[in-house]
Amino acid sequence: MSGSDACSPAQVARGSRDASSPQEPCYLLRNMINKSCWKLLAMLALVLVVMVWYSISREDRYIELFYFPIPEKKEPCLQGEAEMKASKLFGNYSRDQPIFLQLKDYFWVKTPSAYELPYGTKGSEDVLLRVLAITSYSIPESIQSLKCRRCVVVGNGHRLRNSSLGDAINKYDMVIRLNNAPVAGYEGDVGSKTTMRLFYPESAHFNPKVENNPDTLLVLVAFKAMDFHWIETILSDKKRVRKGFWKQPPLIWDVNPKQIRILNPFFMEIAADKLLRLPMQQPRKMKQKPTTGLLAITLALHLCDMVHIAGFGYPDAHNKKQTIHYYEQITLKSMAGSGHNVSQEALAIKRMLELGAVKNLTYF
């Protein structure tokens, strides 16, 4: 191309003023550049659409995008609000079911249970009688007398780390904690108040007085008959049970029997049936069951008028290195073989959030 046919940068930018025909070189070059720009913009828009679709299609990302921490100000508590909203999840939902098992239901009145543990007490009545004779079932008067109960269920998730939620958590009427999750040393993020702690033998903290308040209710979640035998030997100081556990539970456990409660398996049943759609009768080799966390939320919806949650949710399944707890360095790999379906539980909690039955203090 000769020098007279070349287009200067200024001509390309504004087009040749002398161009009287679309065949002029500068005109053609400008059209080519414009078309390239439009193609590039179209490709960028397509990439953006694909990225948004991928994010929304991923259940864990969907929840993270659309649920944010609630305001720190104290929200009004409306009596019966949680019960009304929970009825959409559980159907014929009623507060008539006792929270904790009582001796009178097994001593004078034979109450047959349709299911074995963890969904009922069928086959465990004899040992349960002995356990209920030395424990209690009452709810503290300080909770019973409240006109409107504000509750928070504190999960064990890594999202609590550096959350600075401790002061906010301590202000709730009831603080429900799970398993052996520590408080000492983490007060700034998880608070120091514990009204109830749900646990099973393998998750019992070896020194319960360190991580709980003097009046904390220690609520046994029995997954198998051996769990009742364990608590009986501890409280009655009998020969310890050493077999039948996937991890050795404490053999010496310094607790006051009057602090112990036995959770009604009814809550395990409705969590499994209504929230996870699990069959009550399953082959022993592939038994699935709700986590203690989902069970605690189910309990709170039964007992409280306002239910907030914090520290729930697991890392992305592809994130192999992200820890799942705020207090220890274990990953999602440790959940393998646990019988818990974390994806289904995420969907269940998402439904609760969408219905407004619970609100989240941390992203999920």
pLDDT in tens, the chain (364 residues): 444 444 554 444 444 444 444 455 555 556 665 667 777 777 877 777 666 555 544 444 444 444 455 555 678 899 989 989 999 999 876 677 899 999 988 876 666 788 999 999 999 999 999 999 999 999 999 999 999 999 999 999 999 999 999 999 999 999 999 999 999 999 999 999 999 999 999 999 999 999 999 999 999 999 999 999 999 999 999 999 889 998 999 999 999 999 999 999 999 999 999 999 988 776 665 578 899 999 999 999 999 999 999 999 877 666 667 788 899 887 766 666 566 688 899 999 999 999 999 999 998 6
Long-range contact set of residues 102-111: C-beta below 8 Å, sequence gap at least 24 = 102/132, 102/137, 103/129, 103/132, 103/133, 103/137, 106/132
Q: Does 152 reside within a domain?
A: yes
- pLDDT score, position 54: 55
CA atoms of 74 and 184, how far apart (whole Å): 26
- Could you tell me if 129 and 163 lie in one domain? yes
Identify which of 217, 232, 235, 363 has the alpha carbon closest to the alpha carbon of residue 299: 217
Please report whether residue 293 resides in a domain.
Answer: yes
Query: Whose CA is closest to 255, among 221, 218, 202, 292?
Result: 218
**Shared domain check, 47 and 138:** no
Structural domain count of the chain:
2
72 within domain boundaries? no
136: Cβ contacts below 8 Å, ≥ 6 apart:
100, 257, 258, 259, 260, 261
Q: What is the largest CA-CA distance in the chain?
A: 110
Q: Which residues pair with 197 in a beta bridge?
A: 177, 218
pLDDT confidence of residue 61: 44
| CATH number of the domain bearing residue 291 | 3.90.1480.20
Residues 246 and 326 in one domain: yes
179, 84: one domain: yes
| 305 and 350 part of one domain | yes
- Among candidate residues 253, 187, 183, the one with its CA nearest the CA of residue 212: 183
In a shared domain, residues 35 and 133: no
Residue 24 falls inside a structural domain = yes
Q: What six digits make up the tokens of 230?
A: 């364990």
Alpha carbon distance 274, 358 (integer Å): 16
- Does residue 157 lie within any of the structural domains? yes
pLDDT at 241: 87
Q: Which amino acid is at 325?
A: H
β-sheet bridge partners, residue 306: 150
Give the range of the structural domain holding residue 49, as residue numbers without chain letter.
Answer: 9-55
Q: Determine the Cα–Cα distance for residues 184 and 190; give it in Å rounded to an integer.
A: 9
Are both 40 and 189 inside the same structural domain? Answer: no
Residue 249: C-alpha distances to residues 205, 226, 231, 275, 324 (Å): 9, 11, 10, 29, 22
- Domain membership of residue 63 (yes or no) is no
Q: Nearest-CA neighbor of 155 among 31, 341, 308, 336? A: 308
236 and 128 fall within a common domain: yes
pLDDT given for residue 313 in this prediction: 86
Q: Quick one: 210 and 341 in the same domain?
A: yes
List, as own/partner pairs, every contact residues 95-98 make where C-beta atoms lie below 8 angstroms and the sequence separation is at least 24, other chains included. Answer: 95/302, 97/264, 97/266, 97/267, 97/302, 98/137, 98/264
CA 84 to chain centre: 21
pTM: 0.80
Residues 14 and 161 in one domain: no
Q: What is the pLDDT of residue 286?
A: 56
